[in-house]
Structure formats: structure tokens, C-alpha cells
């Protein structure tokens, strides 16, 4: 008998909390909207899995492991059956070194409450388990709202987010995946649960504010459409190389209003397919995680002293001259001596739910990672998620390693990562 349960808890941090994800020192001065933990529990024949989707920029592997242990002890669900997913909002908090000493982490009262709320939301989701049926849907958004943020430039280079360089852009690199994927858990005598999966950076909102960005708006709009009938959680897919800006045009849309608009566009796709989802038969539930070991990138280590000096904050702004790509490379080189092991560990997690599967990568995978696993398993309905059970850096393609650009410059990993991660995912997808 298939069962599903849902729970949500507010984890909005206090004002003054460090807001990461912009390369500058930002501290929350205003809450535009609260941030949440959303938990989905799924059970079949005594086996239970839990997915906690957190409105966080990132949750490092160390912290994800601690949280999974806390949840396992509270719920009795095995650690291997627990996924911790950070949606990667750039207007939210993080649990990740080296920022682990930021003032949010120094507020041990809030941190203790935060860990307790992770265990609480999982516990509540398990207690909410109710008999259900499962159906799936997939639909392209009516408006293109996700764009690959890498561009071919007229000088032959590859540029990431070429702000102010519209006239230097030669052509788009590729098309992003603008399809919305939906799981509908139809429950007996309880609210239905909608799991909405979409892939692009939630970095639409800036300034010193706290917000759940477009994923928060998706939840609001879907739930409002079905008043007191549906609980909605969102997962963010392969988003490492895409965002909301189309730099092929002279102007791009941005800001809180556009974030709300994106939420409406995605929610409209959900609403359009809600009563047209395809029923699936779930006869098995298997959860697993494989650790991929990839040699740490050490290129440029001899420049450590120079890069260390350059990286020092100047009036709260980290040096970015002469380019964002140089900034990324600088921070990577500094990390080589200060925090990098010989080999980097990267978790690849899979939940097999009959013909449906969750594939979580422990970093920010490029769009191609999603294409790869779906091409290898064309008969499966696959939801991908970034920053799952870890947030270990950009997961670039083999092609991007040779081309360069911001993500390829900043990643701590080395070529071969794409093949290793996708092989680990496919191996688990085919597990019996």
C-alpha cells in the first residue's frame, strides 16, 4: 500500500543573518517572505523515505549528514532513506563551510532550533502518512523563463552572465530545460500533495532581504488555486548553468516582481496538467546513495599568496577585478591550501519509486546531467535535484572544463566528473 505524508515548518532566520550567494557581504534587513522546510514522506510495504526540501542556498555534506542522522534518530527511518535538498535561493541562508562561522552559525540558539525543526518536519511528515495513488505530468512552460547562462562571444570565448556585454554576444550556448515535472499524490481523506520540479537558479531577488524566491511563489500559487485541498513542495533540478536572464537581448528581467511572475508561469503549468496526470503503478521503493570520488583541482596553487591578498574584503566587497570568472578562479585557488582534500567526495542519491525516480546530485549540476540520466533510462519518469545531501560546488560537463567560463573556473572538481556522476546515478536507477 502506497502512502504519502507532508509537513511544513517556518525557519525564517532573524534579521542581521548573513545572506550568501552574491560574492559580497549581505545581511538580512527585511523579510520579503518567509522561508520554510517542506517534507515529503513516502511509504510502501513498510519501507519509508523522506525528502526535506529546504529554502536554503546550500547545505554542505557535513551538515547534511548531521541532519540525516538527527532525522533518522527521531523517525526511525534509515539514514540511507533520507534526502536533504537545498533549493539554492540566493536570498536565503546556508549551512556550509567556510561560511560556517557567519553570524547565523554563531547564533547557537537559532542553530539548535534549526536542527530541531529539521527533525520535527520529518517527524510530522511521517505521522501524516496516508494511503494514496500516484500520477505524473510534464509540461513546457508557456513562456521561456530559464536560459543557459553561458554564451558564445564574438571574440571566440565563453562567457557566463555577460552583464553589459550584449553587443559582444555571438549566440546562445544552448537551450535550457523549461519543462515542469509534477508528481500528484492523491490521498484518501487528506489533502493531495503536489511535488513540482523545475530547473533554473533561484537568484532573481537581490539586496539585503530574505525570500524563498520563485519556488516560494510556486507553492503559494498552486495552493491558492486549490484552497485547502493541496499541499505543494518544490524541488530545483539541474540548474548549475542556467538562470532567468536572457543576455542575448539588450535588457533582461530581474527582481522580486519577476520572481513572482516566474512562480505564476510555473504554477500555471501545474494547474493546466493537474487533472490530466497519468496514473502510475508503484510496486517497489528503493533508496540509495553512492559517493563519487574526484581528484581535487590544484591548477594555480602557486598563485596562492597573490590570490589570498586579492580575496580580502575591501569595504565589504570581495575583489572581482577584472572579471567574475577571475574572481571565481581566485576563490578556488585560495581554497586549495585552506580546505581542499586530495580527493573531493560527491554524493549521488537516488530514490526508485516504481517507474518514478528522484536523482539528487550533491552540488550544482549542469543541464546536461539531466539529459544524460534521462537518455540512459528513457522509460523512467525522473526528477532531478541540485544540492542534495551536500552542496559541494559546480558540477560542470567535460566539454565545459575545456571551454572555461565562471563555473569551470570555480569548480573544485576535475574532468571526468560528468561521466562518474551520471554513471553513479544510472547504476542506482537500475538497481533491483
Tens-digit pLDDT profile for residues 368-427 = 999 999 999 999 999 999 999 999 999 999 999 999 888 988 898 999 999 999 999 999
- pLDDT-derived band at 107 (thresholds 50, 70, 90) equals low
**In this model, does residue 270 exceed pLDDT 90?**
yes
**In this model, does residue 308 exceed pLDDT 90?**
no
Grid cell in block for residue 1: 500500500
Q: Please give the average per-residue pLDDT across 35-42, as a whole number.
A: 98
CA dihedral 85, 131, 228, 121 (to 10 degrees): -30
| CA 47 from centre of chain | 26
**In this model, does residue 333 exceed pLDDT 80?**
no
pLDDT tens by residue, 222-251: 999 998 899 999 999 999 999 999 998 888
Greater pLDDT, 318 or 269: 269
**Beta-bridge partners for 183:** 136, 195
Q: What three-state secondary structure class fits 44?
A: strand
Residues 6+ apart with CB under 8 A from 254: 204, 206, 244, 245
- pLDDT-derived band at 322 (thresholds 50, 70, 90) equals very low
pLDDT of residue 108: 63
pLDDT of residue 100: 42
**In this model, does residue 105 exceed pLDDT 80?**
no
pLDDT of residue 315: 46
**Lowest mean pLDDT segment, chosen from 6-10, 51-55, 97-101, 194-198:** 97-101
pLDDT tens by residue, 111-139: 888 999 999 999 999 999 999 999 999 99
**In this model, does residue 213 exceed pLDDT 60?**
yes
CB 73 within 8 A of CB 115: no
pLDDT tens by residue, 281-303: 999 999 999 999 998 877 776 77
**In this model, does residue 256 exceed pLDDT 90?**
yes
Q: What is the percent of the chain with per-residue pLDDT over 90, rounded to a whole number?
A: 72
**In this model, does residue 101 exceed pLDDT 50?**
no
Sign of the Cα torsion 96, 99, 104, 109 reads positive
pLDDT of residue 22: 63
Residues 6+ apart with CB under 8 A from 234: 38, 53, 87, 195, 196, 197, 198, 215, 218, 219
Sign of the Cα torsion 418, 421, 427, 431 reads negative
- Alpha-carbon distance of 382 to 350, in angstroms, equals 10
Phi, psi of 383, rounded to the nearest 5 degrees: -105, 125
pLDDT of residue 115: 93
Residues 6+ apart with CB under 8 A from 314: none
pLDDT of residue 297: 77
Residues 6+ apart with CB under 8 A from 189: 130
Work out the number of other CB atoms within 10 angstroms of the CB of residue 11: 20
pLDDT of residue 17: 82
Would you give the end-to-end CA distance of the chain in angstroms?
19
* Adjacency order of strands within the sheet including 158-160: 158-160, 150-153, 169-172
Mean pLDDT of the chain: 90
User: H or E segment at 268?
Assistant: helix 256-273
Grid cell in block for residue 319: 575583489
**In this model, does residue 144 exceed pLDDT 60?**
yes
pLDDT of residue 102: 44
**Lowest mean pLDDT segment, chosen from 76-80, 156-160, 240-244, 355-359:** 156-160
Work out the number of other CB atoms within 10 angstroms of the CB of residue 430: 12
Grid cell in block for residue 208: 539585503
User: H or E segment at 313?
Assistant: strand 313-314
- pLDDT-derived band at 206 (thresholds 50, 70, 90) equals confident
Q: What three-state secondary structure class fits 400?
A: helix
Amino acid at each position: 500500500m502506497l502512502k504519502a505524508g507532508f509537513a511544513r515548518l517556518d525557519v525564517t532566520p532573524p534579521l542581521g543573518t548573513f545572506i550568501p550567494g552574491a560574492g559580497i557581504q549581505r545581511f538580512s534587513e527585511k523579510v520579503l517572505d518567509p522561508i520554510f522546510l517542506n517534507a515529503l514522506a513516502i511509504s510502501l510495504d513498510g519501507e519509508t523515505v523522506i525528502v526535506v526540501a529546504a529554502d536554503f542556498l546550500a547545505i554542505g555534506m557535513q551538515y547534511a549528514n548531521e541532519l540525516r542522522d538527527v532525522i533518522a534518530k527521531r523517525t526511525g527511518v534509515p539514514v540511507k532513506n533520507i534526502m536533504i535538498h537545498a533549493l539554492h535561493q540566493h536570498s536565503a541562508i546556508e549551512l556550509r563551510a567556510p561560511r560556517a562561522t557567519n553570524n547565523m552559525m554563531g547564533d547557537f540558539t537559532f542553530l539548535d532550533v534549526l536542527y530541531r525543526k529539521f527533525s520535527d518536519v520529518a517527524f510530522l511528515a511521517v505521522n501524516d502518512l496516508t494511503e494514496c495513488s500516484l500520477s505524473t505530468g510534464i509540461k513546457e512552460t508557456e513562456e521561456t523563463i530559464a536560459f543557459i547562462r553561458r554564451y558564445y562571444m564574438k571574440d571566440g570565448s565563453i562567457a557566463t552572465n555577460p552583464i553589459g556585454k550584449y553587443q559582444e554576444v555571438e549566440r546562445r550556448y544552448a537551450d535550457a530545460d523549461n519543462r515542469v515535472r509534477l508528481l500528484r499524490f492523491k490521498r484518501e481523506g487528506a489533502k493531495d500533495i503536489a511535488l513540482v520540479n523545475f530547473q533554473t537558479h533561484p537568484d532573481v531577488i537581490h539586496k539585503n532581504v530574505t525570500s524563498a524566491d520563485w519556488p516560494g511563489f510556486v507553492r503559494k500559487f498552486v495552493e491558492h488555486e486549490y484552497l485547502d485541498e493541496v499541499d505543494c513542495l518544490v524541488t530545483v533540478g539541474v540548474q548549475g548553468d542556467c538562470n532567468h536572464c536572457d543576455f542575448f537581448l539588450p535588457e533582461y528581467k530581474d527582481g522580486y516582481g519577476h520572481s513572482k511572475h516566474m512562480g505564476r508561469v510555473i504554477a500555471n503549468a501545474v494547474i493546466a496538467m493537474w487533472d490530466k496526470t497519468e496514473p502510475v503503478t508503484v510496486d517497489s521503493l528503493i533508496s540509495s546513495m553512492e559517493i563519487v570520488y574526484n581528484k581535487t583541482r590544484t591548477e594555480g596553487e602557486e598563485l596562492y599568496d597573490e590570490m589570498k591578498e586579492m580575496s580580502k574584503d575591501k569595504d565589504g566587497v570581495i575583489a572581482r577585478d577584472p572579471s567574475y570568472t577571475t574572481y571565481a578562479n581566485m576563490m578556488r585557488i585560495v581554497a586549495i591550501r585552506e580546505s581542499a582534500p586530495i580527493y573531493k567526495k560527491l554524493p549521488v542519491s537516488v530514490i526508485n519509486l516504481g517507474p518514478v525516480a528522484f536523482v539528487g546530485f550533491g552540488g550544482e549540476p549542469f543541464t546536461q546531467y539531466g539529459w544524460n540520466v534521462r537518455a540512459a533510462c528513457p522509460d523512467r519518469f525522473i526528477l532531478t535535484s541540485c544540492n542534495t545531501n551536500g552542496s559541494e560546488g559546480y558540477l560542470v560537463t567535460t566539454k565545459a572544463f575545456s571551454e572555461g567560463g565562471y563555473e569551470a573556473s570555480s569548480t573544485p572538481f576535475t574532468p571526468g566528473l560528468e561521466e562518474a556522476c551520471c554513471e553513479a546515478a544510472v547504476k542506482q536507477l537500475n538497481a533491483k
